[in-house]
Amino acid sequence: MSAGLWQLLVAVSAFLAKAAAQETGAAPMVPALFVFGDSLLDSGNNNNLASLAKANYLPYGIDFAAGPTGRFCNGYTIVDELAELLGLPLVPAYSEASGSSQQLLQGVNYASAAAGILDESGGNFVGRIPFNQQIQNFESTVAQIAGSAGGTSAAASIVSRSIVFVGLGSNDYLNNYIMANYETRRHYTPQQFADLLVIQYASQLTRLFKAGARRFVVAGVGSMGCIPTILARSAEGRCSEEVDQLVAPFNAGVRGMLDGLNAGLPGATFTYLDNFRLFKLMLAHPASYGKIARAQQNSENVLLVACMAWPLMNKGCVRAGFDVVDRGCCGIGRNGGQMTCLPFMPPCADRERYLFWDAYHPTAAVNVIMARQAFDGASDVVSPVNVRRLAQL
């Protein structure tokens, strides 16, 4: 089967799943979605922190129904789309939901911009909630659920059947290892640093298991060598293969580590989302992925998916795709990456044609693709099972 046909089938399958859930009011596939991560997933936890990493101002959220919420994007994050595919409401930020036990029952987002696997990562941004603290917040949530759901057994049942999405590691590189004011690179080779991160990560994921989580989606670190802030460091705006090679041993180590956890933790399933591969594919074939993204965001009928994938089938189809892959939609300087999106700065008008929203983060159109690949993708992207299968276990 060709790559284009497989992309189409994934798009159609995810589209139908989401449409069916919305139109029939079907029960969610899982009780809840719990999210851990950094600015790629943050939905507002940094808003009230003394932090330089915030996105609670326009034009962030310009395409999100509630406007600026603290999401580092123009619209949906990966986990927003994933929640809808699972039949759940968008999960609230922990900073908003922690005072209400009822809000916690369908999931919580603990992600914090600038957070890392290591507590010290992201320190240049001052306030942030590292993964260790996010886990502690989750442990408090489980206790709150027990108090409102009828005891520890009821809470254990809810948590064990829920999906846990974890996406960390980017800041351990961008805002630690390759930062000039950190000593890390002088003390560790890339392989040694990857090993350090993976050992810590395994301990943290095991802690989530001990708190009751059983169904995990762990995203690798995406391709960072072509993000606008890295492109802007080159006078020619070239991608940095060196940066991508830095994260390669980490991603390989995480895959092996998850295999070990699957074998060693009874009742747990850890699935790996290869968003590095996905983003490389989008960079290599931007028009193809853009066509599918536009089709997915139009909920009128599934025929539009085929129309966008094969425009020659219908004279009324408009050929569209990701046309801009080397600059942020909202940013300043070379490649829109020398300074990220500032308050009330006018963004680009045709956001669906851009891979990057700002100097660091993808657009909502990219996030939708990532989520739908996680939900229904093949084993070369998400393994050993995709999220749909994980939810059915």
In total, the chain counts a number of residues equal to 393
Report residue 349: phi and psi, to 5°. -85, -35
| Residue 15 near residue 28, CB atoms below 8 Å | no
For residue 98, indicate whether it is catalytic. Answer: no
Catalytic residue among 162, 244, 361, 376: 361
| Cα torsion angle, 37, 41, 42, 43, sign | negative
Omega within 30 of 0 (cis) for the link into 384: yes
CB 216, CB 208: distance < 8 Å: yes
Is position 244 annotated as part of the catalytic site?
Answer: no
Q: Are 38 and 78 in contact (CB under 8 A)?
A: no
Q: From the candidates 63, 80, 172, 358, which is the catalytic residue?
A: 358
> With contact defined as beta carbons under 8 Å apart, do 270 and 365 qualify?
no
Pairing of strands 107-109, 33-37: parallel
Q: Are 82 and 377 in contact (CB under 8 A)?
A: no
Is residue 347 a contact partner of residue 74, using CB atoms and an 8 Å limit? yes
Give residue 367's identity as a one-letter amino acid code.
N
Q: What does the DSSP assignment read for 220-271?
A: PPPP-TTSHHHHTTSTT----HHHHHHHHHHHHHHHHHHHHHHHHSTT-EEE
DSSP string across 351-387: GGGEEESSSS-B-HHHHHHHHHHHHH--TTTEES--H
CA 300, CA 298: separation in Å to the nearest integer? 6
Question: In the structure encoding, which two tokens stand for residue 110, read together?
Answer: 């603990």
Rounded CA-CA distance 70/81 in Å is: 16
Name the H helices within the chain: 3-24, 78-85, 94-97, 101-104, 131-149, 152-160, 170-172, 184-187, 190-210, 228-231, 241-264, 275-284, 286-296, 303-309, 364-376, 387-392
d(Cα 78, Cα 72) in Å, to the nearest integer?
Answer: 11
- Of 13, 39, 121, 223, the catalytic one is 39
Known catalytic residue at 259: no
Q: Is the bond into 59 cis (omega within 30 degrees of 0)?
A: yes
**Catalytic machinery residues:** 39, 358, 361
